[in-house]
Amino acid sequence: MTAPTFDTQASVTKLRSAGIDEPAANSIVEVVSDATSPLVTRDMLTTELSGLRADMYRALWIQGAGIVAVVGGIVGIAEVIG
């Protein structure tokens, strides 16, 4: 998985053809590139979320087993007492 690409040279060319001088076009492209660099792709997000889902599912099973054990212990104590 790679980060989204931003064709800086093509962007500068488009800005230049729209009438923006080269230093301004380069500055605009640099700002946009810096602003979009921390963005992630859908594939990156899906991969991270699938790991999180697996962790949550595992934790849910552990909690469920703990609840069953506690209820079993309470029932066992109740049978001994009563």
pLDDT at site 17 = 94
And the tokens for 4? 């989204």
d(CA 7, CA 29): 9
Q: What's the CA angle centered on 10, arms 7 and 11, to 5 degrees?
A: 85
- Write the pLDDT tens digit of every residue in 52-77: 999 999 999 999 999 999 999 999 99
Q: What share of the chain is helix, strand, coil (3-state, %, to 5)?
A: 80, 0, 20
**What one-character DSSP code corresponds to residue 9?**
H
Q: Is the separation of the CB atoms in 47 and 1 below 8 Å?
A: yes
